[in-house]
Structure 1
Amino acid sequence: MASEQKRWLVVHVIAIILALNNVAYEVNGDPQVPCYFIFGDSLVDNGNNNGIASLARANYLPYGIDFPDGPTGRFSNGKTVVDTVAELLGFDAYIPPYADAGGRDILNGVNYASAAAGIRDETGQQLGGRISFGGQVNNYKNTVSQVVDILGDEDSAANYLSQCIYSVGLGSNDYLNNYFMPNYYQTSSQYTPEEYASALIQEYSGLIRDLYSYGARKLVLNGIGQIGCSPNALAQNSEDGSTCVEKINSANQLFNNLLKSLVNNLNSELPDAKFIYINNYDIFQDLINSPQSYGFTVTNAGCCGVGKNNGQITCLPGQTPCQNRDEHLFWDAFHPSEAANVIVGRRSYSAQSSSDVYPMDIRQLAQL
């Protein structure tokens, strides 16, 4: 009888140990993809502009006031959209900026984003230094050569990179800090909005194909959000300070429609790759239409900044921001709050509505 009780006890102890191991694996399991590469602008820059002679920098408080590491260069009070996606993909650390990435850490991915950057090389030049989309792609090519060295040969590197997620989000500054800035740029007199969107997509497409040539196979192409609803646009161009600026938003929609069509074209032309489109425009429309259901009480003003609606310029060093940051859709004159970024990141990863993504979400893309 004693021996049977002993055996029963041993079996149950083993079962408990196995169960605990399974729980630990679920919590600390491997990421769903081996690496995550990020290309973009200030919406996702996490420190690449810190060492650049540029006015587009955010490595000072109150930026990062709610981020565990404090100010890092993120244009947010806390996390960005790609930070949220990295968490959901299962990474145990945020993807490092290219400026700081090195060694075997690059095997987890690299963030190449640069504040004020655009698809066009001249975009954002009035703000000083920045790394355009073309420059970011060149930096990625340097990373690929390092991956080849680490893994031993090009075939191993190509197989590894083919499993990774690539996120591209550019175009906002080509409107904000180019087309709709006629005192600095000639593009609005050279192109109609339709022609400009086509020119941007043509250049964008060429750089995407460069990424494909260097191993990218799972690509997330992010549409432009509602720039005409930012506190800056409302402060400068809205008669009542709350109605979104239609001429800006309609131009953004022209770009987004072409970008979604590009996803179709690339999926048919490059059958060993998979492209998806994130409909940031409609996701933001949902947040603006139903702010209370997402916990937002302020949608037309930044939490910090200067001027009407805190919309003339971004947060000043040492400025005291609002206390109810989670209730603000926007953090500063241009950038969403962490609360908004988390929602967009979650809906990009796992679509809440069928219109959020096309033809699938990031979670499904990771599983391919």
Structure 2
Amino acid sequence: MGIVSLLLLLMVFESTGTSTAQMVPAMFVFGDSLVDVGNNNYLEISLAKANFPHNGIDFPSHRPTGRFSNGKNSADFLAEKLGLPSSPPYLSLVHNKSTNFLAGVSFASGGAGIFNGTAQIFGQSIPMTKQIDYFAAVREEMVEQLGETGAEKVLSTALFAVVIGSNDILGHFSSDSNSSSGSGSGGATTTTAEQMVSSMIVTIEQQLKRIYDLGGRKYAMIGVGAVGCCPTQRARSQTMECNAVANHWATEYNRGLVLVLEQLSSELHGFVYSYFDTYTAFSNFIQNPSNYGFKEVKAACCGLGTLKAQVACLPISSYCSNRSDHVFWDLFHPTEAASRLFVGMAFDGSGQFASPVNLRQLIAA
């Protein structure tokens, strides 16, 4: 490694703030609106945006940032745990002609899914396949700056957070005409839920292998939550109960994902992971809200109509004053309070929530 490459590598560990408080050199984030920190702001025709009030009302700037939240989201809290600044949106760096990728980048995009066509209803998003394409371009730039050995050193110790899959499942159950067997999607497809989930599992395995081939070794894998219990799904039922069928297929996907992770860790040298069981954590919030400081588990904080879930969180919508009491900010997304708890459980939680190790143990290994 040349002296210039060595100096650049030292900059990753020193000038960007690496110290005893910083646990990894960088974090790369792949996923959907649960961890989008502003990429969709740069998509011209996308309807999946949060760059308007009342989003961001509790963010430090008290302004919307493109996060689908009243404040910070899980990507922000995970970065804080790691001693890093939040990974910037990839498209913001491209827009500003920056190649400052060394401390991490976020590729996450609201509406994104494992499948390329998941977000068609929103007009535009960055699907997982394209997010990995962007990461490949970032890796090339890192090699230019650090050399091959330097880039591999950073990537092998960086954390790769993957939060994807909810939109694929919710998209399948977006129509009132879905049956109790989970087949169909409002007549738009003949794919059954079982076929869809099987395809999701095969596809995510291929995508993780691509990231591995590009240098990723440590993975924070976030399972799909109890999507059938989000306000928009409850509001479709006269009883306002959770959509049990959607929840069933979320658990089936999670089960398949765990098997994929176990297989990859045995097949790919250096592949290590922590899987966070979002479904169980979310279910605990819903079943025992007072244990976690919540009072409202069904209705969104921001929106209009039944459970504030018939109109999204728009400037014309009303919003609650007691946001920390709510599990849900809008018709799909958790509040800042819920996101903070999720990350705490993933980072330091027991085997009930994080396996085979939690994130702190994964990073220390």
Length-normalised TM-score, structure 2: 0.88
User: 1:173 matched to which residue of 2?
Assistant: 167
Contact 1:179-1:185 at 8 Å conserved across structures: no
Q: Distance in 1 between matches of 2:361 and 2:311?
A: 39
Residue 358 of structure 1 pairs with residue 355 of structure 2: yes
**2:131 corresponding residue in structure 1:** 136
Q: How does 1:294-309 map to 2 (within 5 A)?
A: 294-309=292-307
2:71 is equivalent to residue 71 of structure 1: no
User: For residues 155 and 184 of structure 1, do their structure 2 counterparts lie closer, same or farther at Cα, with a shift above 3 Å needed?
Assistant: farther
Secondary structure of the corresponding residue to residue 266 of structure 2: helix
CA distance in 1, matches of 2:54, 2:109: 19
Unmatched 5+ residue regions in structure 1?
1-25
Structure 1 distance, partners of 2:102, 2:315, is 35
The Cα of 1:318 is off from its aligned counterpart by: 5.1
Amino acid paired to 1:246: A
Moved beyond 6 Å, runs of 4+: none
Number of residue pairs matched by the alignment: 335
Deviation digits for residues 202-226 of structure 1, max 9, x if unmatched?
0111111000000000012111001
Report deviation, 1:28: 7.1
SS at match of 1:354: coil
- Native 8 Å contact 2:156 2:215 kept in 1: yes
Tell me by how many angstroms 1:355 deviates. 1.4
Shift of 1:140: 0.6
Do the aligned partners of 1:61 and 1:319 also contact (CA within 8 Å) in 2? no
Alignment of 1:85-234 (within 5 A): 85-91=78-84, 93-101=85-93, 103=98, 105-151=100-146, 153-178=147-172, 180-181=174-175, 182-183=185-186, 185-186=188-189, 189-191=190-192, 193-234=193-234
- Whole-Å separation in 2 of the counterparts to 1:163 and 1:130: 29
Instruction: Give the counterpart letter for 2:330 in structure 1.
Output: D
Provide, for residues 236-266 of structure 1, a one-character-per-residue CA deviation record: whole Å limited to 9, x for no partner: 1x3321x211011001111000001111101
AA of the residue aligned to 1:162: S
Identify if the C-alpha distance between structure 1 residues 89 and 179 changes in structure 2 by more than 3 Å, giving closer, same or farther: same
CA separation of 1:320 and 1:312: change in aligned 2, threshold 3 A: closer
8 Å CA contact 2:311–2:317 kept in 1: the answer is no
Q: Contact between 1:178 and 1:184, CA under 8 Å: does it hold in 2?
A: no
**Structure whose CA Rg is larger:** 1
Partner of 1:286: 284
Tell me how far apart the structure 2 counterparts of residues 199 and 179 of structure 1 sit (CA, whole Å). 16
- Which letter maps to 2:166? S
- The residue that corresponds to 1:239 in the other structure is 238
Single out whichever of 103-112 and 117-126 deviates more from structure 2.
103-112
Matched AA of 1:259:
L
Read off the aligned partner of 1:302 and give its amino acid letter. A
User: What's the CA shift for 1:29?
Assistant: 4.4
CA contact (8 A) 1:315 1:332 kept: yes
Question: Paired residue for 2:325?
Answer: 327
Q: CA deviation at 1:194?
A: 2.5
Check the 8 A contact 2:224/2:278 in 1, yes or no. Answer: yes
| 1:41-84 deviation digits (Å, cap 9, x = unpaired) | 01111111112111110011100000013211000001111211
Give the distance between the partners of 1:306 and 1:65, measured in 2 at CA: 17
Would you say the 8 A contact 2:351–2:358 is kept in 1? no
- C-alpha separation in 1, matches of 2:209 and 2:188: 27
CA distance in 2, matches of 1:184, 1:345: 38
How many Å separate the matches in 2 of 1:260 and 1:224? 11
Once residues 18 and 316 of structure 2 are traced to their aligned partners in structure 1, the CA distance between those partners, rounded to angstroms, is 38
| C-alpha distance in 1 between matches for 2:50 and 2:99 | 27
Question: SS of the residue aligned with 1:137?
Answer: helix
Measure the CA separation in 1 of the matches of 2:41 and 2:187.
Answer: 24
TM-score by length of 1: 0.87
Alpha-carbon distance in structure 2 between the residues aligned to 1:232 and 1:104: 39
Q: Distance in 1 between matches of 2:119 and 2:188?
A: 10
- Pair 1:43-2:46 in alignment: no
**What secondary structure sits across from 1:105 in the alignment?**
coil
1:31 pairs, out of 5, 11, 22, with 22
SS in 1 for 2:303: coil
Match of 1:367 in 2: 364
| Percent identity between the two aligned chains | 37
Give yes or no for contact 1:266–1:275 (8 Å, CA) kept in 2.
no
Using the TM superposition, name which of 26-35 and 260-269 deviates more: 26-35
User: Would you say the 8 A contact 2:304–2:318 is kept in 1?
Assistant: no
Cα distance, 1:271 vs structure 2: 2.7
CA distance in 2, matches of 1:135, 1:264: 25
Question: Root-mean-square deviation (CA), in Å?
Answer: 1.7
Deviations 1:79-100 (CA, angstroms, capped at 9, x unpaired): 1112111101111x21111111
